[in-house]
Structure 1
Amino acid sequence: MRARNSILVIWFTLLIGLFFQIIPWSPSYDMFKPHLFLLIIAYWLITLPYQISIGTAFVFGLIIDLCSGTILGVHAFIYSLIAYLLVFKYQLLSNLALWQQAFILFGISVCYNALIFIFQASIYHTITMSPYILLSSCVDGFLWIWIYLLLQRIKLSFAIN
């Protein structure tokens, strides 16, 4: 029963991240929009890689594709690739200091934005890149510390292991 409750809490946090990911922002603030789903799934992949897998990232990526109106599979591929990299090095990442993890999550967010740009340029043949795209990655790096501490508290209070 405890394992079932723990997986429900994990999925609930992922659904909250998905909700915040698909909420539209005004164009003037869109450059500051954090990738909360990316941060939340990164936390669970680093701390519990055996409960949340690459398949979970793929399914949620498909849902983001459906909700955002992009070509089906773009976000699924990107989230699967990021999940693979995080699971591949989860032992290293879980032993790093929180500020070092924030720096790595900044880099992952930059890679996410770069992959979205590459897919947009190759599929739609439009280039919509601005130097402000790094602002969302900076926001992700700063938010990682708060997301990590919040999810760590949830993990401890629900005894998820």
Structure 2
Amino acid sequence: MAKNSTSPWWYINASILVALILSIMPLPLQLKAIWPDWAAMVVIYWAIALPHRVSIGTAWIVGFLLDILLGTVLGVNALALSLVVFGVSSNFQKLRNFTVWQQAALVGIFLILFHLVVFWLNRFLLNVNFSVEYITPSFTSALFWLWLFPVLRSYRRRFKIR
């Protein structure tokens, strides 16, 4: 039996890199308001599937990279994503047992929390006003979770990422 010599980190980092690229893609303003949070969803998936490999530190690094790529205040997305992954990794065994529809609802709730933390920090630091556009990506992300979860699961199983 041939053993896969490639590190699982390579595959996880590749999926996170694709998610970061999707997160910074230039889009029309109408589409930008409903564009899913790809990076957050991919990190949430890996925190549920492999909590011993992807945890709060990984979420902080991905959030910090997102801050740099989006040109936002450094640490805002990092803190928000770390808080979300803390909640996910604290309950990963429960989340694994839910159906994909239930997981999608919970991912939507976690992403609403993510966006509210980002808003709160931006309100404190930049004095911005609340808009519904802050949380609309959470709803589309919950819908895209129904597609993303099976895709990442088959990716994990195909490359035997453990």
Alpha carbons of structure 1 residues 3 and 93: separation in structure 2 relative to 1, 3 Å: farther
Please show how residues 1-161 of structure 1 align to structure 2 within 5 Å: 2=4, 4-127=6-129, 129-161=130-162
CA distance in 2, matches of 1:41, 1:3: 24
Structure 1 range deviating more: 1-10 or 33-42: 1-10
Alpha-carbon contact 2:116-2:134 (below 8 Å) kept: no
C-alpha RMSD over aligned residues? 1.5
- Structure 1 regions of 5+ residues with no counterpart? none
TM-score, length-normalised on structure 2? Answer: 0.92
User: Offset at 1:158?
Assistant: 0.6
- Note the alpha carbon deviations across 1:63-120, whole angstroms, 9 max, x for none: 1111111111111111111111111100000111111000000101111111121112
User: Offset at 1:152?
Assistant: 0.6
- Structure 2 regions of 5+ residues with no counterpart? none
CA distance in 2, matches of 1:160, 1:3: 11
CA distance in 1, matches of 2:156, 2:97: 17
CA distance in 1, matches of 2:117, 2:62: 17
CA distance in 1, matches of 2:95, 2:5: 24
Q: Which amino acid aligns with 1:99?
A: W
TM-score, length-normalised on structure 1? Answer: 0.93
Q: Percent identity among equivalent residues?
A: 26
Structure 1 range deviating more: 53-62 or 42-51: 53-62
Q: Which amino acid aligns with 1:70?
A: T
Number of residues of Structure 1 aligned to a counterpart in Structure 2: 160
